[in-house]
Chains A and B, each alone.
Chain A
């Protein structure tokens, strides 16, 4: 069949007009990435999400500069800004003023703006690194399940299904709750960060794993994999050299969609008191503190709540757009 088609194409000599048109339009080879980028550029919503994501990352990187621009830092206490009679920030609106752009928190009067910009470091950093952990586990296990099939696939797939269905929040709370304050040679903040990264990464790899498995099953039947196999390449080589490069696009897409999920995960754990703790200004920990005084000072809760909301939304918009750009058929 293919032979006939090729013969047919080769058999018709190119007409002069066609050659001229081709020369004028200058044939341009477009890679898959290039095609996806062109599609993404046209998707305004996704681009807005992407710009917002970049701004948020810049905000996390330049947190000290932004704080000093405002003239505040996240940890100094301003007891004088709290009304002693009502224990709310003086001046209403959560204490918003020219010196404190987003007001001050309760009960210590710390500057909310600088706590938010520093908090972005914890939110984005922990979500980003734990997503990397999830990708490493998910890609390796997903490829093994998809490539080898049989009982290996059965066991690993069941495991992924189970983990996806599990009340992971409870298990994470348990793990983070039972561990002492000094463990594995770490303590304090660095221990909390390390634990959060490991726990969130561990519970979110099946999400990536399932997608990678599906793609690997489709890829392993392709001719170039057969070719590599007949040349005597080892499964290890085929998996990492032949299949993995073809998985880059879906991995990037689903990593972008996993980051916001992990931001919510970290915020939930910190909100519940097992993640980042006072005086660290994680957004979840801020909500934990703010919810106690929500009735008298809603502004204190609304700011970190909006920070989480905007960040998650930005990543979701960008990730959805990226997915549509790489795979228009998967669009919802």
Chain B
């Protein structure tokens, strides 16, 4: 088990480096392939009003004139040990996990990300709890009552739910609730208004996921309930609930656990659509706002952070899987 975890950890670190490389290419190389000059790119990074000194500082700082791998090495090094920037007039020191410096807003990327993270975290966890409970419950009940009116109507709703984009459902729920004006406040300072501000985004976000989870749970349960071990369990005289939950759901739930881990991981890196619909000041909203200001270092930080969460989620799911299913460890 330990070697498995170590192997997975090494793979995760390697993956992070690859992802950092891809992100790096998107932000520094892609614009140049598309025909941007080094000066243009530098001015994109610092903001249009900057003077030539600032531009030169940026060009110098990012080694735009040097070979590709030097630039990338420098970028990764900054994340590990920190870095010092010059914006033309003064030197800025950026501490250890240095994801860059936003020249537009004169702020460091990492502290800003940390500042926004609680919002995204609250949104993701609340919605995840909702969709997991509803998705599983609906899926199990539908599978047990296969073909009933309940099953059919719930599955129709699920089918509609998959086709409804969150930026349409969100405003509709907001309208049905009579357009309440709410603004986010942190859970620690005021739990009640925290929940008030978040419940509509939770429902809007959870709706689509619950639909997918319900369909998957139902399909998995139907497969599991048709298996021989379920018949054996029934033949042993176990209660119906026990057969359904301990034997049926237990077998059907594994792929759902995987999907759940990955989905939550992806959301922690910013629920871009929901946050922008409800102007929730989370990481996704930060990305969209930064995009509007062409604040490239900030978007880059968000992208890397999102990738980080996905890889961590992948790692957690793998380890969880291996601890539940010994066959995975062997291969």
Contact = CB atoms under 8 A, between A and B. Distances in A.
A264 B270 contact: no
Contacts of B276: 272
Interface string B29-45: 01100111000100010
Interface in B256-315: 262, 265-266, 269-270, 272-273, 276-277, 284, 287-288, 291-292, 294, 296, 299-300, 302-303, 306-307, 310, 313-314
Contacts of A184: 34-35
B273 A177 contact: no
Given A170-B284, A173-B291, 13 more contacts: A169-B272, A174-B303, A178-B27, A178-B299, A179-B30, A180-B31, A184-B34, A274-B291, A291-B171, A301-B171, A312-B163, A313-B159, A332-B219
A183 B34 contact: yes
Contact of A291 (B34, B269, B277): B277
B179 interface: yes
Contacts of A174: 23, 26-27, 299-300, 303
A273 interface: yes
A276 B62 CA distance: 32
Interface in B108-145: none
Which A-B residue pairs are the 10 nearest by beta carbons? A183-B34, A305-B168, A312-B163, A313-B163, A332-B219, A167-B306, A177-B291, A167-B266, A165-B262, A294-B171
14 contacts: A170-B306, A173-B272, A174-B27, A179-B34, A180-B34, A260-B163, A287-B168, A294-B171, A294-B174, A302-B172, A308-B168, A309-B160, A316-B163, A317-B159
A175 B31 CA distance: 9
A268 B167 contact: yes
A170 B273 contact: no
Contacts of A15: none
A215 B269 CA distance: 33
B278 to A, nearest CB: 10
B17 interface: no
A202 B272 CA distance: 20
Contacts of B27: 174, 178
B291 A167 contact: no
Given A178-B27, A271-B167, A316-B159, A167 B307 contact: yes
B13 interface: no
Nearest to B216: A332
A166 B19 CA distance: 10
B272 A166 contact: no
Contacts of B219: 332
A305 B291 CA distance: 24
B78 interface: no
Interface of A: 162, 165-167, 169-171, 173-175, 177-180, 182-184, 260, 264, 267-268, 271-274, 287, 291, 294-295, 298, 301-302, 305, 308-309, 312-313, 316-317, 332
B230 interface: no
A170 B291 contact: no
A167 B171 contact: no
A179 B33 CA distance: 10
Interface in B7-64: 15, 22-23, 26-27, 30-31, 34-36, 40, 44
Most chain B CB within 10 A, of A165, A184, A272, A312, is at A165
A182 B291 CA distance: 17
A166 to B, nearest CB: 6
Contact of B303 (A171, A264, A271, A317): A171
Interface of B: 15, 22-23, 26-27, 30-31, 34-36, 40, 44, 159-160, 162-165, 167-168, 171-172, 174-175, 179, 215, 218-219, 262, 265-266, 269-270, 272-273, 276-277, 284, 287-288, 291-292, 294, 296, 299-300, 302-303, 306-307, 310, 313-314
Contacts of B22: 171
Contacts of B160: 309, 313
A162 B265 CA distance: 13
Contacts of A287: 167-168
Contacts of B307: 166-167
B310 A167 contact: yes
B168 A173 contact: no
B302 A170 contact: yes
Most chain A CB within 10 A, of B270, B291, B306, is at B291
A183 B35 contact: yes
Nearest to A162: B15
Given A178-B27, A184-B34, A313-B159, A170 B165 contact: no
A166 B310 contact: yes
A283 B62 CA distance: 39
A208 B159 CA distance: 21
Contacts of A274: 291
Contacts of A272: 272-273, 276, 288, 291
A268 B219 CA distance: 28
Nearest to B27: A178
B310 A165 contact: yes
A332 B218 contact: yes
A267 B166 CA distance: 11
A295 B179 contact: yes
A180 B32 CA distance: 10
A160 B106 CA distance: 38
Given A177-B299, A274-B291, A291-B277, A264 B30 contact: no
Contacts of B35: 180, 182-184
B91 to A, nearest CB: 26
A177 B23 CA distance: 13
Contacts of A173: 272, 287-288, 291, 299
A332 B44 CA distance: 50
